[in-house]
């Protein structure tokens, strides 16, 4: 048995304030082996990934343990020494390629920088090699692709370029940090295939970090489950998926499976339409984002708008709330027509339609306390007395399942899930008839997201709310949506009761979407790629 | 992008026009006029009256302004009321002097400030960073003339390396000028350094929290290269605007330096003009200063666009 | 958590800064007690060098330099603070307005400020002077207004980045008014970066005050202000007389210490830069 | 004692440098405050003084110019242009170092009894730089440009007494005055009255009879003159080239002088001049008590100041010695509350010098029955150190129990907005040509600049009488009375008359102090030479 290429012994990482981010992490990575690190945000998986490169994020320090790459303990090295390892022996693929490519330089420069700097290839060789890779990875016109700037290419292409960059200096180890999380499902699958083939073809050992069990299942030989910076359990992929030992792991697996099964939901009473948007067409500048889209939402109903980035689903939400006035089409809400312009809408209209954002932490003013955030709509719409507002706020906190003493905290001190609950409470405070949820859970961890969805459903049952849910995640749709509308580049491709949408005969695009959702089977990815004749080449 | 430039230039001209109008009104509001200012103690009521008529000050204000404006349009800035000299004739050499000094100082200050700014960003919190910080702050916390005097004392009176009189004449050679104007240039450098240095440092450090910087480190690049190649290009925009601001100061705000070093620039001309209420002079100088300001701002805006790849390479 | 932590124990530089500032404030408050001589009394010959009798020597009309500096802290700090506050009041309000109230307002305000900035300070000061007459109030107004133009630019550029965030959008959707959005949503988030500017401007104004003194604006005699003291005694430095060095030193000290504090406050608000921890 | 030594060294230097007549020397030696005997003893050295040498480039740095200057004599306001003017033009009358009028382009003159009708002889054999020979018409024209309704000349006022002026012959001029004036020739010495060719108007390219011709002129920056070649004055205009730099900042001026970038500088800073005295490379020329008269002027028609006792309180309450000592480090003489200086032949030597007396001040203040603070407006615009003086005044008044508020006002437009308007403000007066001119302009009821607004008929009568009085003794007595009236009753606190302080590099000769103006009557370019 050959020696481990990467060893981490008793690693401990703390931030300057002294909180422990990772404690006593041990990893042994054999050459060509893929280890999946899985866990919720804050589990410390990225921290470990970076620590493997001898790097700690701003404000953090490696306080204990050893990181050994190919027999060399890199804490013992000087800064320069460590720099020589990075990229050359161990490379990194970041979650958001868009953010991790430097906007000021063209892609080719950034890909060639590393091999040239480490003296692995000359500039000319590097360029030739890069073009070759562009071709194999089927990037559009590979000869000129490198000359483009990051903002000029799509997220999927950028993510592939990032992968190329990572292996450009022929490293032994690559750290993949959520490489597909930011991508649409259909793109994600392509990138997954690519990564898998790279790892195989170049005999790379990899740390694959993700929060999605199904994704890691496709790639990893072994999986390490982390929580709160501590190891939960580590075992071969098969064992983790089929015979998890720890309770937490069990939850993860079960929950992931539950999202795969479809739960039929039907309205108790008949469909009483409260929102009717018909033949909506909308533009950004002179670019048409919505083309003759019609949807209806009934009382107590959840309607899902499904589509990938650029499908216009968010634009639809903006039209509904009045941020993007439609160029044609009409909206009727609770019997009367709704003005397209935000300014022309009455305060009552504003109150009755509320919006919940994808990113709870940017949707909450960091300088306000929870009480102020939730209390404001109450005092604004129902001008109540101070005590009344506070009472109602506490009531709402209870409703969204937060302890009463949060009322005086700053939202910044809370976790993502808690923040999203506050956003919901803020929406409820206005006592709306319709809540538009724009990707309400996509920024949250699996289990947390699950709870949020449960909460939304409970509220719907108690208050008879209607939801318009904008999402790319078919799992969510399956679970909560009465009706579903599938959007593709601003047009409706399928619409109707969710049950019908998910039953054959499929619209080809819907089918593609459905297939792309990772399933919790090791073999899933290979099957798909096999099924898709002429899909991305995997050799 | 061209459209943007055009609109900026147009707005610039508009601003200029407004400046002249405002200045005119201002000088109208100000007590005293060129007559009483010139004659000073020599003023007696009837000499004043005579002088006013001679200067046409008896005519209504708007007439005089429109007259001035129309002439200015044709590039004729009129003659000074005080000494009857053609304003342009007097202004041109002084303006070229001002620009020379400003350019000289900028040529030292801008690169130095940016380099030091980057260096102290590279060594954030290290002694060199703190030293640069303290020194520049010290420099801006004393009046400009004070720095000037100290330089004169040390380099002119004691060491005798440079002349304390920086008066330049048309017949001087370039290098002679460079030598003669050294002290004022150094003084100005010290004055404008601080602001630019701090801004460079700040914006570079701000960029340092970007993911692509982390990525650069993870590519195994040394800190120096990361900052120079990955951080600096993205920090350019704010640096450019602050540089522009300081260049404007170098052109507009150097009266005191001119006085101390006896440097024949526009600033002194304007001050004399103002104290004598010599309208054509004031207006001409205002035109120059306003022009410089507007021009620099516009250039800065355009550059800021040029350094932004998103705008340089549209999808 | 981390925030409270760093609030509780500031870095050494900030501690020094606060100490110096505190010292000068104490000087300002208890000047009559501390100062060896009166603010106005001429106690000796002109420009006597430092001695046991006059620790920092005497000034241009034979007043004790040390006492003047101690008394000077009052006017200097007081007036500068007033000016800076005023300029920020105006500048920030207008800046936020420009950012929040939409394109037209923004254009109008920005162009107006451009206009104001391209008027030579001398002329501008003269205008205000002729309108309001010279008094301490006029001084504060003049500097406040002049300075607010520069503050405006910064405030605006910061605010435009905040205005696009979703929590501001939420407020709009809720039907909040301009004023609320400016005051409650944008302002609190715009403040931290403004603090840095405040520190610098505050110190610039020491000199600004002195700079306008030839217009009769500025501190009225016999009251002392550091900038003015440098000005009155400044020439003598050209003859190697150290008199003006002392007030200049006082200004420099304050400037540096204020900025040390500011840097610290900023470092609390700014998220740690990716590079600062690296090696 | 050391003070005496200083004076001695000064006097020796200038004696050695100026080559002046014994009489002049005695007088100027005394100006610098040395006893007659000491002066006499020194004169031997003065005789040794060599005769002027030709050649060299003379660079002078002077305060008192601006970017708006012009060589039109009707616009002269300050030293730079006066000095420039006297390089290219000649005056009608010149003054010797003691301040007595001597002939220049008007060679000689005589008055009919009553001093109403005057005959002036125009110097012959003088040519302008354009070759034209000087004659009476040139003189007439040069006076005419300052007269008439449409002139803007500051000299208009002093020439108004001319009732009739005509050329008797190309070499002779007859002037009739509206009323007699024994000092009339002195009036023609006014620095505005320089001689240009008849009908001359091109002020940018001046034509004069002076020793130099203008080569280049950048207003507010510098003037360059070339020696004209032949000059009608013996031993004058010795430099090949004269550069006149406008250096407004005294520190810059001094630094330039010390580092040898200029050979001469005017208006040195009294506070720092001692530091230069010790420098053997430099020659500091001090003219005692002929410079600016610094005053705090109250308008006696204003409420409060119309009270004579208050005015006396103001006069007794100022510590002249202290101010002179700490603001001018001794380079000034105390003023006696009128603007006549001690070198004027009619200066009242009998009137005791008023000193600082808090008790008297307090007494008069009490007597005046007034209370509450008095406000004094001062500004750097009045004169550089006006505010300093005011602050010391404030302090000395406080000792007398009188509250004086010093209000610092804008330097810009000071003479427009404050002077002649504010009830109590800082004012400086320059030397006037004669006692008569002083009294008429500064205190006469008819004068527009009577800034104390002190208009007393009997005073006017006295001045008029003195003007035509040709009996010196009587005249002197009258003028003495005038000074007493002003000092006792007037609204002017004239507390100091400064020394002129010029700095020259040691190699510059002909730098004798002059009773009228600094830089040897602003004629150093013409009178000086390099050793």
Entry pTM: 0.82
Which structural domain, as residue segments, surrounds residue D473?
293-498
Q: What is the CATH architecture assignment of A1-89+206-260? A: 3-Layer(aba) Sandwich (3.40)
The mean pLDDT of chain D is 88
CATH number of the domain residue D455 falls in: 3.10.105.10
CA distance D500 to A395: 89
C252/B312: higher pLDDT: C252
Domain check: are D472 and D374 in the same one? yes
DSSP tag of A28: E
C89/B309: higher pLDDT: C89
**Alpha-helix residue ranges (DSSP H) falling in C49-186:** 65-100, 103-117, 121-132, 136-163, 166-174, 178-180
Domain check: are D260 and D326 in the same one? no
Which pLDDT tens digit goes with each residue over D445-480? 988 889 999 999 999 999 999 998 888 899 999 999
Domain check: are D356 and D386 in the same one? yes
Nearest-CA distance from C154 to chain D in Å? 32
Query: Quick one: average pLDDT of B177-204?
Result: 89
Residue D85 lies in a domain: no
- Provide the number of structural domains found in chain D: 4
- The angle formed by the CA atoms of residues C104, C106 and C112, to the nearest 5 degrees, is 105
Q: Is the pLDDT of residue D348 over 50?
A: yes
pLDDT at position A263 is: 67
Give yes or no for D380 touching C (CB within 8 A): yes
The mean pLDDT of chain A is 86
Residue D300 lies in a domain: yes
Q: How confident is the model at residue A188 (pLDDT cuts 50, 70, 90)?
A: confident
Beta partners for residue A36, in sequence order: A208, A223
**Omega before residue C44 within 30° of 0, cis:** no
Which pLDDT tens digit goes with each residue over A426-473? 999 999 999 999 988 887 877 788 889 999 999 998 998 999 999 888
Q: Which two tokens stand for residue B59?
A: 């005519």
Q: Which residues of D touch B167 (CB under 8 A)?
A: 221-222, 245
Q: Tokens 């609109």 — which residue? A: B7
CA distance B212 to A203: 27
In chain A, where are the structural domains located? 1-89+206-260, 273-515
Residue D201 lies in a domain: no
Cβ distance D408 to D379 under 8 Å?
A: yes
Domain check: are D494 and D509 in the same one? no
pLDDT at position C278 is: 34
CA distance A243 to A239: 5
Q: Which two tokens stand for residue A464?
A: 């008879």
Q: Do chains D and B touch (3 or more CB pairs under 8 A)?
A: yes
CA distance B285 to A198: 68
CA distance A448 to B37: 80
Q: Is the pLDDT of residue D2 over 80?
A: no
Cβ distance B155 to B180 under 8 Å?
A: no
Q: Which residues of D touch B40 (CB under 8 A)?
A: 77, 154, 415
Give yes or no for C176 touching A (CB within 8 A): yes
In degrees and rounded to multiples of 5, residue D510 shows phi and psi of: 75, 35
CA distance D355 to D495: 9
**Which of A166, A172, A118, A224 is closest to A3 using CA atoms?**
A172
Other CB atoms within 10 Å distance of the CB of residue A242: 10
Residue D6 lies in a domain: yes
Contacts of A94 (CB under 8 A, 6+ apart): A100, A162, A177, A179, B211, B214, B215
B308/D185: higher pLDDT: D185
Residue D200 lies in a domain: no
Q: Which two tokens stand for residue D74?
A: 């009707």
Query: Quick one: average pLDDT of A392-418?
Result: 88
Query: Quick one: average pLDDT of D215-241?
Result: 93
Least CB–CB distance from B149: residue in C124, C227, C235 = C235
Q: How confident is the model at residue D414 (pLDDT cuts 50, 70, 90)?
A: confident
Cβ distance B164 to D261 under 8 Å?
A: yes
pLDDT at position D426 is: 95
Contacts of B264 (CB under 8 A, 6+ apart): B93, B94, B97, B167, B168, B258, D218, D220, D221
Closest chain B residue to the Cα of D73, Cα to Cα? B83
> How many residue contacts between A and B have a Cβ separation below 8 Å?
82
B window 11-30, beta carbon within 8 A of D: 30
Domain check: are D431 and D359 in the same one? yes
Contacts of C126 (CB under 8 A, 6+ apart): B26, B30, B274, C215, D410, D412
**Which of D420, D430, D349, D433 is closest to D383 using CA atoms?**
D430
Cβ distance A90 to A173 under 8 Å?
A: yes
Domain check: are D181 and D271 in the same one? no
Which pLDDT tens digit goes with each residue over C110-148? 888 888 888 888 788 887 877 777 778 888 888 899 889
Nearest-CA distance from D267 to chain B in Å? 16
Give yes or no for A102 touching B (CB within 8 A): yes
- Sign of the CA dihedral with D293 first, then D298, D299, and D305 last: negative
Question: Are B165 and D61 within 8 A, CB to CB?
Answer: yes
Domain check: are D255 and D266 in the same one? yes
pLDDT at position C24 is: 92
Residue D195 lies in a domain: no
Helix or strand run (H / E) with residue A239: helix A237-242
C83/B51: higher pLDDT: C83
Could you tell me whether strands A60-69 and A173-177 are parallel, antiparallel, or unpaired per DSSP bridges? unpaired
Question: Are D272 and C235 within 8 A, CB to CB?
Answer: yes
Give yes or no for B155 touching C (CB within 8 A): no
Domain check: are D487 and D506 in the same one? no
Radius of gyration of chain D (CA): 23
User: Which range has the top average pLDDT, A268-272, D19-23, D163-167?
Assistant: D163-167
Q: Is the pLDDT of residue A534 over 80?
A: no
User: Which range has the top average pLDDT, B29-43, B122-136, B235-249, D510-524?
Assistant: D510-524
Q: How confident is the model at residue D1 (pLDDT cuts 50, 70, 90)?
A: very low
Domain check: are D430 and D380 in the same one? yes
Q: How confident is the model at residue D331 (pLDDT cuts 50, 70, 90)?
A: very high
**Alpha-helix residue ranges (DSSP H) falling in B33-152:** 34-39, 45-55, 61-73, 87-122, 127-140, 144-151
In degrees and rounded to multiples of 5, residue D500 shows phi and psi of: -85, 130
Q: Is the pLDDT of residue D47 over 60?
A: no
Domain check: are D11 and D62 in the same one? no
Could you tell me whether strands D404-408 and D264-265 are parallel, antiparallel, or unpaired per DSSP bridges? unpaired
Q: Which two tokens stand for residue A148?
A: 């483009």
Which pLDDT tens digit goes with each residue over A223-233? 999 888 888 88
Domain check: are D411 and D353 in the same one? yes
Q: Which two tokens stand for residue B47?
A: 């000499």
Q: Which residues of A touch B218 (CB under 8 A)?
A: 50, 53, 55, 86-87, 91-92
CA distance C279 to A80: 9
Residue D75 lies in a domain: no
Least CB–CB distance from B167: residue in D75, D221, D258 = D221
Query: What number of residues does chain B have?
Result: 315
Domain check: are D332 and D380 in the same one? yes
Q: Tokens 């000869």 — which residue? A: A143
Which pLDDT tens digit goes with each residue over A27-65? 888 888 899 998 887 778 888 888 888 888 777 788 888
Q: Tokens 């067409």 — which residue? A: A281
Give yes or no for D271 touching C (CB within 8 A): yes
CA distance D420 to D112: 38
Domains A1-89+206-260 and A273-515 share a fold: yes
pLDDT at position C190 is: 86
Residue D80 lies in a domain: no
What is the ipTM, given to two decimal places? 0.79
- Please state which CATH class domain A273-515 belongs to: alpha beta
CA distance A433 to A110: 51
Question: Are A104 and B218 within 8 A, CB to CB?
Answer: no
Contacts of C244 (CB under 8 A, 6+ apart): B146, C229, C230, C233, C234, C236, C237
B38/C265: higher pLDDT: C265
Q: How confident is the model at residue D68 (pLDDT cuts 50, 70, 90)?
A: confident
% of chain A surpassing 70 pLDDT: 96
pLDDT at position D24 is: 54
Question: Are D219 and B42 within 8 A, CB to CB?
Answer: no
The mean pLDDT of chain C is 83
Query: Quick one: average pLDDT of C29-46?
Result: 86
């Amino acid at each position: 048995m050959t020696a481990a290429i990467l060893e981490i012994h008793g690693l401990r990482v703390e931030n300057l304030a002294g909180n422990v981010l990772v404690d006593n992490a041990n990893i042994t990575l054999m050459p060509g082996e893929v280890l999946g690190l899985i866990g919720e945000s804050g589990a410390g998986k990225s921290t470990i990934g970076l620590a493997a490169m001898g790097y700690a994020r701003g404000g953090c320090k490696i306080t204990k343990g050893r990181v050994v790459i190919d027999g060399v303990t890199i804490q013992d090295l000087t800064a320069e020494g460590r720099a020589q390892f990075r990229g050359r022996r161990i490379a990194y693929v970041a979650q958001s390629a868009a953010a991790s490519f430097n906007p000021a330089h063209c892609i080719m420069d950034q890909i060639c920088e590393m091999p040239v700097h480490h003296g692995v290839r000359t500039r000319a060789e590097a360029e030739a090699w890069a073009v070759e890779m562009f071709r194999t990875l089927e990037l559009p016109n590979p000869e000129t692709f490198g000359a483009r700037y990051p903002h000029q290419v799509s997220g999927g292409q950028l993510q592939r370029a990032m992968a190329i960059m990572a292996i450009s200096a022929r490293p032994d180890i690559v750290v993949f940090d959520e490489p597909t999380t930011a991508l649409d499902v259909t793109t994600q699958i392509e990138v997954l295939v690519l990564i898998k083939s790279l790892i195989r073809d170049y005999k790379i050992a990899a740390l694959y970090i993700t929060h999605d069990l199904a994704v890691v299942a496709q790639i990893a030989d072994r999986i390490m489950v982390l929580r709160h910076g501590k190891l939960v359990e580590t075992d071969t992929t098969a064992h983790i998926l089929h015979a998890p030992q720890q309770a937490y792991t069990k939850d993860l697996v079960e929950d992931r499976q539950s999202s795969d099964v479809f739960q039929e939901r039907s309205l108790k009473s008949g469909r009483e339409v409260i929102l009717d948007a018909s033949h909506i067409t909308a533009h950004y500048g002179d670019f048409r984002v919505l083309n003759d889209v019609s949807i209806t939402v009934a009382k107590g109903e959840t309607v899902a708008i499904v589509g990938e980035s650029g499908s216009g689903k968010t634009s639809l939400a903006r039209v509904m709330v009045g941020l993007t006035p439609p160029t044609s089409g009409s909206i009727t809400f609770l019997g009367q027509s709704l003005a397209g312009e935000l300014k022309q809408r009455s305060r009552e209209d504003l109150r009755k339609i509320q919006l919940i954002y994808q990113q709870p932490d940017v949707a909450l003013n960091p300088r306000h306390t929870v009480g102020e955030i939730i209390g404001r709509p109450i005092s604004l719409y129902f001008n109540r007395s101070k005590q009344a507002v506070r009472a109602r706020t506490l009531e709402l906190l209870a409703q969204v399942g937060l302890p009463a003493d949060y009322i005086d905290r700053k939202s910044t001190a809370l976790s993502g899930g808690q923040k999203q609950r506050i956003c919901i409470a803020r929406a409820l405070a206005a006592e709306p008839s319709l809540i538009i949820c724009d990707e309400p859970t996509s920024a949250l961890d699996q289990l947390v997201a699950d709870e949020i969805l449960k909460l939304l459903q409970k509220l719907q049952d108690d208050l008879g709310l209607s939801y318009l849910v904008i999402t790319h995640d078919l799992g969510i749709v399956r679970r909560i949506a009465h009706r579903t509308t599938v959007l593709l580049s601003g047009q409706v491709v399928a619409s109707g009761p969710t049950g019908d949408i998910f039953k054959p005969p499929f619209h080809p695009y819907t089918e593609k979407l459905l297939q792309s959702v990772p399933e919790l089977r090791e073999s899933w990815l290979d099957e798909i790629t096999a099924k898709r004749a002429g899909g991305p080449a995997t050799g | 992008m061209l459209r943007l430039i055009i609109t900026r230039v147009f707005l610039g001209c508009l601003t200029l026009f407004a400046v002249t109008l405002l200045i005119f009104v201002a000088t109208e509001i100000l007590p005293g006029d060129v007559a009483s200012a010139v004659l000073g103690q020599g003023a007696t009521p009837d000499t004043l009256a005579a002088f006013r008529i001679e200067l046409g000050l008896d005519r209504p204000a708007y007439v005089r302004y429109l007259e001035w404006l129309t002439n200015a349009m044709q590039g004729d800035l009129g003659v000074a009321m005080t000494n009857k000299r053609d304003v342009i004739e007097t202004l041109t050499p002084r303006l070229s002097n001002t620009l020379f000094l400003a350019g000289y100082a900028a040529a030292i200050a801008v690169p130095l400030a940016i380099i030091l700014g980057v260096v102290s960003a590279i060594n954030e919190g290290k002694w060199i960073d703190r030293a640069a910080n303290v020194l520049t702050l010290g420099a801006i916390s004393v009046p400009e003339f004070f720095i000037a005097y100290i330089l004169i004392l040390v380099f002119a009176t004691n060491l005798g390396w440079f002349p304390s009189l920086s008066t330049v004449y048309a017949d001087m050679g370039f290098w002679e000028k460079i030598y003669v104007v050294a002290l004022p240039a150094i003084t100005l450098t010290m004055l404008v350094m601080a602001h630019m240095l701090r801004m460079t440092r700040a914006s570079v450090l701000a960029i340092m929290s970007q993911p692509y910087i982390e990525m650069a480190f993870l590519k195994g690049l040394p800190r120096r290269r990361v900052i120079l190649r990955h951080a600096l290009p993205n920090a350019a925009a704010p640096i450019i605007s602050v540089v522009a601001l300081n260049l404007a100061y170098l052109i507009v705000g150097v009266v005191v330096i001119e006085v101390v070093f006896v440097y024949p620039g526009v600033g002194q001309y304007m001050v004399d003009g103002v104290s004598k209420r010599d309208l054509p002079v004031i207006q001409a100088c205002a035109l120059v200063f306003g022009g410089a300001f507007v021009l620099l701002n516009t250039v800065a805006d355009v550059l800021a666009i040029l350094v932004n790849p998103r705008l340089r390479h549209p999808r | 958590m981390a925030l409270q932590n760093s609030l509780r124990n500031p870095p050494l530089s900030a501690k020094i800064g606060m100490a110096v500032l505190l010292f000068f404030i104490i000087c300002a408050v208890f000047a009559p007690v501390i100062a060896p001589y009166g603010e106005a009394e001429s106690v000796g010959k002109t420009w006597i060098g430092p001695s046991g009798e006059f620790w920092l020597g005497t000034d241009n009309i034979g007043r004790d330099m040390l006492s003047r500096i101690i008394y000077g802290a009052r006017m200097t700090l007081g007036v500068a603070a007033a000016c800076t506050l005023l300029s920020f009041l105006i500048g920030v309000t207008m800046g936020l307005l420009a950012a929040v109230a939409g394109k037209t307002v923004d254009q109008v305000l920005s162009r107006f400020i451009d206009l104001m900035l391209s008027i030579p300070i001398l002329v501008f000061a003269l205008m205000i002077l002729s309108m309001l007459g010279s008094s301490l109030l006029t001084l504060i107004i003049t500097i406040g207004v002049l300075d607010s133009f520069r503050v405006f630019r910064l405030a605006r550029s910061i605010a435009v980045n905040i205005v696009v965030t979703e929590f501001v959008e939420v407020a709009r959707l809720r039907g909040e008014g301009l004023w609320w959005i400016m005051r409650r949503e944008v302002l609190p988030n715009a403040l931290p970066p403004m603090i840095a500017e405040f520190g610098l401007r505050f110190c610039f104004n020491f000199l600004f005050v002195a700079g306008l003194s030839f217009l009769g604006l500025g501190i009225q005699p016999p009251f002392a202000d550091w900038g003015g003291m440098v000005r009155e005694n400044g020439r003598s430095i050209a003859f190697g007389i150290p008199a003006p060095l002392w007030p200049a030193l006082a200004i420099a000290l304050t400037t540096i210490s204020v900025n040390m504090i500011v840097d610290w406050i900023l470092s609390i608000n700014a998220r740690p830069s990716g590079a600062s921890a690296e090696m | 004692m050391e003070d005496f030594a200083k004076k001695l060294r000064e006097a020796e230097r200038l004696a050695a440098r100026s080559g002046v007549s014994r009489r002049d020397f005695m007088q100027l030696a005394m100006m610098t405050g040395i006893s007659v005997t000491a002066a006499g003893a020194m004169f031997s050295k003065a005789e040794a003084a060599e005769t002027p040498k030709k050649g060299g480039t003379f660079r002078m740095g002077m305060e008192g110019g601006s970017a708006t200057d012009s060589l039109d004599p009707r616009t002269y306001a300050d030293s730079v242009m006066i000095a420039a003017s006297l390089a290219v033009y000649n005056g009608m009358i010149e003054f010797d170092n003691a301040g007595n009028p001597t002939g220049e382009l008007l060679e000689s003159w005589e008055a009919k009894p009553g001093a109403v009708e005057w005959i002036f002889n125009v110097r012959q054999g003088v040519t302008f730089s354009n070759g034209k020979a000087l004659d009476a018409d040139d003189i007439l024209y040069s006076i005419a440009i300052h007269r008439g309704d449409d002139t803007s000349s500051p000299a208009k006022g002093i020439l108004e007494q001319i009732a009739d002026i005509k050329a008797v012959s190309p070499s002779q001029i007859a002037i009739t005055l509206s009323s007699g004036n024994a000092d009339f020739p002195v009036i023609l010495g006014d620095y505005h009255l320089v001689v240009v060719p008849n009908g001359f108007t091109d002020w940018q390219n001046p034509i004069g009879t002076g020793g130099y011709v203008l080569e280049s002129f950048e207003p507010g920056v510098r003037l360059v003159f070339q020696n004209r070649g032949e000059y009608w004055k013996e031993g004058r205009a010795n430099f090949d080239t004269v550069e006149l730099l406008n250096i407004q900042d005294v520190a810059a001026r001094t630094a330039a002088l010390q580092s040898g970038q200029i050979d001469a500088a005017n208006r040195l800073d009294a506070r720092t001049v001692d530091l230069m005295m010790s420098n053997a490379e430099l020659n500091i020329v001090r003219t005692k008590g002929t410079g600016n008269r610094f005053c705090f002027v109250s308008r006696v028609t204003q409420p409060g100041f119309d009270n004579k006792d208050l005015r006396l309180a103001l006069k007794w309450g100022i510590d002249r010695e202290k101010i002179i000592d700490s603001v001018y480090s001794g380079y000034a003489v105390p003023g006696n509350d009128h603007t006549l200086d001690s070198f004027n032949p009619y200066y009242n030597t009998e009137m005791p010098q008023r000193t600082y007396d808090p008790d008297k001040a307090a007494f008069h203040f009490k007597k005046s029955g007034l209370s509450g603070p008095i406000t004094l407006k001062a500004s750097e615009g009045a004169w550089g150190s006006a505010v300093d003086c005011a602050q010391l005044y404030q302090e000395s008044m406080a000792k007398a129990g009188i509250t004086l508020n010093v209000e610092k006002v804008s330097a810009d437009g000071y003479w427009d907005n404050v002077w002649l308007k504010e009830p109590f403000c800082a004012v400086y007066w320059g030397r006037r040509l004669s006692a008569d001119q002083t009294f008429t302009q500064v205190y006469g009821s008819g004068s527009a600049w009577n800034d104390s607004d002190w208009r007393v008929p009997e005073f006017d009568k006295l001045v008029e009488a003195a003007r035509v009085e040709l009996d010196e003794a009587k005249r002197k007595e009258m003028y003495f009375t005038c000074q007493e009236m002003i000092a006792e009753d007037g609204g002017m606190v004239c507390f100091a008359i400064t020394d002129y302080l010029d700095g020259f590099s040691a190699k510059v000769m002909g730098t004798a102090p002059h009773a009228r103006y600094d830089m040897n009557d602003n004629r150093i370019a013409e009178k000086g030479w390099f050793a």
